Structure 1
Amino acid sequence: MSNYPFESELAHLEQIIPFLMTAPPLGLPYWRRRILALSPREGRLPPDSAQRIGRLMDVFEKIERKASVDAAATATVTAR
C-alpha cells in the first residue's frame, strides 16, 4: 500500500493552515474534518506523521480560539 495519498494530504494541510488565520476558505469545520480524517481508525501512524498531525491540530485549535474571540468582539461592537 502506498503512503502517497496520506503524505500528499498531510503536506497540503500543512501548507493551507497559515491561510486559515486570515480568511478560511470553506470554513473551519471543513478543515477540522480534513485534519481528523488523517488520524488512523485502526493501527498506528509512523511517529513523524503522528507528530505532524498533532502540530496541525494544535495550530488549528489556536485558529479556532482566535476566530471565536474575534467573532465575540465583532458581536459586541455590532450590538452597541
Structure 2
Amino acid sequence: MISYEPGSGYVFPEDEMPGPMTGAAGTLEPVAMSAEDFDKLTRIPIIVYYGDNIPEEPTEDFGLDNWRTRLAMTRL
C-alpha cells in the first residue's frame, strides 16, 4: 500500500488509541479498530510519503499546522 500525504482515517487498535491532536487546523481524531483487524492490516507492506517543509512545532499558519498534526499522527 502506498499513501501520498494522507489527511485522515488514521487507524489504531482500540486498546492503543492515542489522544486527539489539536492544531490551528482543528482537531484530528484517530479511528479505533479491533486488534485482530489491525493485525491483518499491518501484514500488508505500507509506505507513506509526505512532502518537505512540514514544521515540527505548532504554528498559527493553518496550512502548515494542518500537515504538522497529520504527519505526527502518521508517525504514531
Structure showing greater radius of gyration is: 1
Normalising by the smaller structure, the TM-score range is: 0.3 to 0.5
Greater share of helix residues, 1 or 2?
1
Greater share of strand residues, 1 or 2?
2
| Structure-1-length-normalised TM-score | 0.33
| Structure-2-length-normalised TM-score | 0.34
